[in-house]
Structure 1
Amino acid sequence: MAGAARELTGEDAAAILELDAAMAQDYPGGVATSHMPLTVASAVLTGRRRAFGVFGYRDELLAMTFADLDGATAEIDFTVVAAPWRGLGVGTGLKAASLLALIEDGIESVRTGGSADNHAIIRANTTIGFVIDQEWVTLTAPAHG
């Protein structure tokens, strides 16, 4: 059973890096939505970079979402759920809990995205109440050969 969502801290750095590395091949997307693997430096949490997670009963990090803040605006950088916990509402619940915490702290506008290839995050975003206000199209040159 998954535990309650909570804000991640510096003490969670090892778990954050472990989950990110374990899910490296699962992040969908192309140039516009690709995920750069976290490093010790990019996993540092500050007042402008916050993260939230869900831990299991064995204290393993099951899901996490990162947000970058600029004044009263937040941009969700990414959300990831460990494979065994997908499809159970863990990601949707985590993202909703993180939004409530951000709003409680004075954030007035939250933006998020997601690759069209990632049906789960699009569904989660829609369930929470996000409205698609723009779409990005990535064009590539045809293969020669």
Structure 2
Amino acid sequence: MPYKIKKQGGMTLVELLAAITILGIVFIGFVSIFPQMTKSNVQTEEKLETMNLARVELVLLKESPNLLSNPPYNKTSCENPQFIYEKVQDGYDYEIIYDPVEDLNKNEHNDSVKLNQIHIKVMKNEKMISETFGYLKNAEITCSL
């Protein structure tokens, strides 16, 4: 009876090394993504936090526009017609640009309505992170340094 050689089903050393190399390259690709994801998440979290801070600041100023005349608001410029204020709080620098405008229109009661634009920027290390815009209704703020 002739002797038959059975073919064994296994991987050679070269095949095993090639598979490990390919898996290593894929693994390194995945590992390099995680620091970028973490950095992106931190930036997004800071952006959301500063957007909320800017909105809270806007709501406070809408409720009481005369706050701009008191500390911690520091008036830095009285350029006609804009007034620029700065404030430092919670590790962030705020720049508030108050832009008074003329009477826009009369309402149905013939009362004069003034909407004054306000632009709030929230910065950290002199880099603007977020900003918001709004209007103060009938606010009378004068500029004097």
Scaled by the length of structure 1, the TM-score of the pair is 0.27
Higher relative contact order (CA 8 A, sep 6+): 1
By percentage of residues, which structure has more strand? 2
Larger radius of gyration: 2
Q: Under a length normalisation based on structure 2, what TM-score does the superposition of the two structures give?
A: 0.27
